[in-house]
Amino acid sequence: MADDDVATKAPESDAQESLVAGDTPAQDGPSMGDHCITDRPTPAGGAPTGEISKIADVDVYITKPSDYPHLPSKLLLLLSSGTGIHSKNNQLQADKYASEGFVVVMPDQFAGDPAPNTATDPNAASEENPSIIEKVKMGFADTAKSFMIDMWLARQTPEKVLPLLHKVIEGAKDEFADAVANGDGIYAVGYCFGGKYVLLLGSELPDTVAKGQALKDEEKGVVKSGPQIRAGAIAHGTMITKEDIEGLKAPVTMACTENDQLFPDDVRAEGQKYLVDKEIPHEIQVFPGVPHGFAVIGEYDDATIKDAQKAAFEQMLSWLKSH
């Protein structure tokens, strides 16, 4: 088990400022920032190698090691940010794990309803000194975008998402039985929105909740099930609560952003105390000076963010391989 490690340190004066031009800072509020709903520029030369397919009637992006099935592989479930399975950067992220020996299944956990993307082209130049009228227009646009995202989040509930994930898990167990057997189970990695659901899949939950059904207050002595995964890894999880961590039974590593309103420091600290008390194998790395969403593949000019992105991937990959 590990205490919080500080990977980098940003000046305190930067704590309340956006860390990337045009980005919504993680500290701005509970709604998702631009990193959760739009891709950063794709690295030059990046081209996905997997394909969109279906498992149990759910759309999935599947990518495999180049030597599979001739050499044994393990099965990895990748749960993405709100940009979903058609995001080129999410596909490249999945490919990166495939190149490390995992058969990767990235399901459309939003059932064709990815986060509304009203962000501007990240490659487009922004106006340095907008007029008052333009500022007003931008204010209205930001308000509308925030409202749309909040409405979208309200639709993405465990009751909707968990049954879909369980369908994919059961289907993948059949389709890639060799990889499941080789890894003695299924591994999972989650970014942003997907981080919360990696925690839930790694938990022991009342059977109704595990299947996406609401648990009635009057129910007593309910049967519990799970965890559904052997080990999990998450980066800058979104909307994570203390309760999401307190059901955990599977080993987990977390790459976190400091001062992240979507996964607040106090919630993380309470969660870590639970993991220590219950002796759940875990590792937590905190990256100051980087924006929420930093760990997903995408181009940055800032060397600090580039280094943190690389370090987070190595952290998560090492954990999956060692468990």
Q: What is the pLDDT of residues 105-120, one digit of tens each?
A: 999 998 887 877 633 3
Dist CA 36 CA 16 (whole Å): 19
pLDDT of 60 reads 98
Helix (H, G, I), strand (E, B) or coil at 217: coil
pLDDT in tens, 302-320: 999 999 999 999 999 999 9
Dist CA 4 CA 9 (whole Å): 13
- pTM, entire model: 0.80
pLDDT at 236 over 80: yes
* First CA to last CA distance, the chain: 13
Q: Do residues 239 and 196 make contact, with C-beta atoms less than 8 angstroms apart?
A: yes
Q: How confident is the model at residue 1 (pLDDT cuts 50, 70, 90)?
A: very low
